[in-house]
Amino acid sequence: MDKRVLLPTDYSKNALNAIRYALELYKNVRCDFYILNAFHISGYTLDSMRVPESGEPYYEAAKQESEEGMEKLMQMVKLHPQNDKHEFHTITTFNSLTGAIRNVIDKKDIDIIVMGTKGITESKARIFGTNTVNVMEQIKECPVIAVPNNYMFKTPREIVFPTDYKAPFKKKEIGDLIEISKLYDARINVVHIDKDKDGKLSRKENANKELLQEILQGTDYEMHFLPADKISSGINKFIDNHGCDMVAFLNKKHLFFGSILSNPLVKKIGYEPKVPILELNDN
């Protein structure tokens, strides 16, 4: 079956940039791309006592605006070099973004989501937009790639995969990391960031490290140890020193740093993406 990629859009430049990134990343893969716009109606939320319905003026106006936006977007997508491996499907729906994404994942059996780190209304002061944080926090059914604003596609050659070895790994959890590595002969740099700076692993951590090495057999990978006071500065330093093109995180609840993207932790970690982030979920 072809790879099924979900591309949420709010018709911003950032969202278009993420779509272009996805088309390049999977240019040699047979893909069905589902481009999704979840539209809203000003003055109404999905929790309102009464939600406008199809046929009502507010609803129809918002729907038309969404459909016109999609038409313009598809014209721009068609300017991208045509690829006979790629098929496009468009979806416009009245829903919250996470609600709409869940529906599409259920109905279309989506493999991965690719989106921008920020949307049209996001403040410049925030590293990640609310929508991106919500999707990465709440959608556990498939991985998410978040593409920083204005990031131009570069062939992934070096991927950094930070871990503390606290939990065992499963092959299916890191399948997308392995797939991208094999697509581009990219090296996976497994980085153990240690605040204690002694690099010693417990018996359990050692067992988890060995399990990861077994899973990564057949890929180009290297294991690194990095003493760092702050996880974020450790990651950023490693990216700079090794010219990394992607960061992969396994988002395990309450482990490592829970989720790098939950709001208090974004402030605590101060992680500002320079390269696309592949967020993998524990199943």
DSSP string, 30-96: -EEEEEEEEE--TT--TTSSS---TTSHHHHHHHHHHHHHHHHHHHHHHTSPP-TTEEEEEEEEES-
**Shared domain check, 13 and 140:** yes
**Shared domain check, 164 and 129:** no
Which CATH number goes with the domain that contains 217? 3.40.50.620
Q: Which long-range contacts (CB under 8 A, 24 or more apart) does 44-49 make?
A: 46/95, 46/96, 46/99
Altogether, the residues listed in the chain come to a count of 283
**Shared domain check, 139 and 102:** yes
Q: b/e string for 139-164 if b means 16 or more Cβ within 10 A? A: beebbbbbbbbebebeebebbbbbbb
**Shared domain check, 137 and 212:** no
**Shared domain check, 95 and 17:** yes
* Residue 152 covered by a domain: no
**Shared domain check, 217 and 128:** no
User: Which of 127, 147, 167 finishes a domain?
Assistant: 147
Cα of first residue to Cα of last residue in the chain, in angstroms, is: 22
Q: How many separate domains does the chain show?
A: 2
Domain around 181: 158-281
Query: pTM, whole model, 2 decimals?
Result: 0.89
- Could you read off the pLDDT tens digit of each residue along the chain, which spans 283 residues? 799 999 999 999 999 999 999 999 999 999 999 999 999 877 666 655 566 777 788 888 889 999 999 999 999 998 888 999 999 999 999 998 999 999 999 999 999 999 998 765 555 445 566 778 778 878 889 999 999 888 999 999 999 998 888 888 999 999 999 999 999 999 999 998 776 667 788 899 999 999 999 999 999 999 998 876 677 778 888 888 999 999 998 876 544 344 444 444 344 334 567 899 998 987 6
**Shared domain check, 138 and 224:** no
**Shared domain check, 65 and 107:** yes
